[in-house]
Amino acid sequence: MAPISALPVQPGKVIAVHLAFESRAAQRGRRPKQPSYFIKATSSLSPSGAEVVRPEGTELLAFEGEIALIIGEPARNVPLERAWEHVSHVTASNDLGIYDYRAQDKGSNTRSKSRDGYTPIGPELIDARAIDPKALRLRTWVNGELVQEDGTSDEQMIFPLAQFVADLSQHMTLETGDIILTGTPAGSTVVQPGDVIEVEVDAPTAPGVPTSGKLRTPVVSGPGDFDGSVGMLPNIDDKQSEEAWGDRAAAGLPADPNAISAELRAKLEAAPTAGLSAQLRNRGLNQVVIEGVYPQTRGTKMVGVARTLRFLPEREDLFKTHGGGFNAQKRTFDAVKPGEVLVIEARRQSESGTMGDILALRARFRGAAGVVTDGGVRDYEEVKEIGLPVFTQGAHPAVLGRRHVPWDHDLAIACGNATVVPGDIIVGDDDGVIVIPRNLAEEVADAALVKEHEDAWVAERVAEGGPLDGLFPPTGANKEAYQAYLAANPVEFPTPGGGGS
């Protein structure tokens, strides 16, 4: 590696953090409980202005604007409150990677991120003693357009910058010149040959606004020269494309296959659970009602895709190991996706809360379609005010640990004596909640709406004084009368954003 003038000494190692910004965690749908790391080769370092090569045969070169910490005084087993004293300088970096190799590397990122030139750094150093580590700003531009902007406050970072120094020093000596790359915020995406990436770190509230200057990296194309006889060849799939680009739409991928189409959602929102339940029974499915749960607010209609969470019966030793920290309950609420209904197995034990107002706020922010729990809800009125559809057995003030251990998620569960598999369709209204297998959802919704049309006609006849015999359901002359009515007034299926009969 050629010397880089911005660095005080040549580093012995470069350590990168996988995930550290709240905005990136929200984008990825997962939030780590503790920091995790990978090593980048020092030969990947390059100065501002140096070109980065996207090898032929690859597609997914993505930038990651990052804040780089440079170790001054060696650190070994330093406490958190002293850790920042071991950082001499802060500067900008770009943690580039080829997602074509990311799946094969399985978190080590060796081939995807340690290529020559894949860690541009600089151009100037900020004295770490002159700034507040919780008041830095990171910005990234691509071809002059601002694409990343975030900060290092407690609200913006999952972990404070100093924690990386303290944590790593428990396991290795951080030596003078070593570099820690502290993760990227939301906005990282794919770049192409011809693009120019610029990254800057500054301290806007510090005297003189110290800055790293803009770290400039032009992207060029170069030979691949990959030999499949000695190692893996580059390969991409939908998951890597989505994560490299930032989302499925930007990657040119179809919508999430687990999502409900707007057309089906409109039909399910129009169909009552009573009618849907009857149609499922006609198809041989009787155990589809989540027993004993009702909406907090009358008039609530909920439609979404099931995401599941399971609690085990309280056992004090297991609660000590699984109940605290970023447990299964918090991880699931923190990762729920837009349009999903979080279904909680609490064994119909309502003698403690299974969620409260903070978790409800997080689920609403994440775009959840609702929550179903066959247990109790704490902060009942506060949760109701949040506006998230919640179906529960009722209110209970006790904390989770009185009856439950948060155990696991995203697996088949039993909620209210009904089996719920991730990906099932969940529909709730004032009558309760039902579970619809995805492969039956379209036909069941259509059939329920057709039956609703017929029932509306029958209700009018009964209101006029008609007897139930031969009318409910229509037979003989009544059936002929309804068929004539149907010909003149066909069933209108609802459309997204519209209405229907």
Binding residue positions for substrate: 356-359, 378
Q: What angle do CA 150, 151, 156 make, to 5 degrees?
A: 90
- 3-state SS, residue 400: helix
CA dihedral (48, 54, 55, 58) positive or negative: positive
Half-sphere exposure at residue 294, Cβ-oriented, CA atoms within 13 angstroms: 8
Give the annotated binding-site residues: 356-359, 378-379
CB of 230 closer than 8 Å to CB of 156:
no
Angle, to 10 degrees, between the axis of helix 476-488 and the axis of helix 441-463?
110
Q: Environment class of residue 34 by beta-carbon count within 10 Å: exposed (0-12), middle (13-18) or buried (19+)?
A: exposed
Give the annotated binding-site residues for Mg(2+): 379
Tokens representing 155 are: 């609200």
Tokens representing 424 are: 């099932």
Helix/strand/coil (H, E, C) string of 448-473?
A: HHHHHHHHHHHHHHHHCCCCCCCECC
Radius of gyration of the chain (CA): 28
For the chain, give percent helix, strand, coil, nearest 5: 30, 25, 45
CB of 457 closer than 8 Å to CB of 464:
no
Tokens representing 170 are: 């428990």
Residue 12: partners with Cβ closer than 8 Å, 6 or more residues away: 42, 175, 177, 178
Tokens representing 343 are: 């279904």
Following DSSP, what letter does each residue of 5-63 receive, concatenated?
TTSSS--S-EEEES--BHHHHHHHT---SS--EEEE-GGGEE-TT--EEEETT---EE-
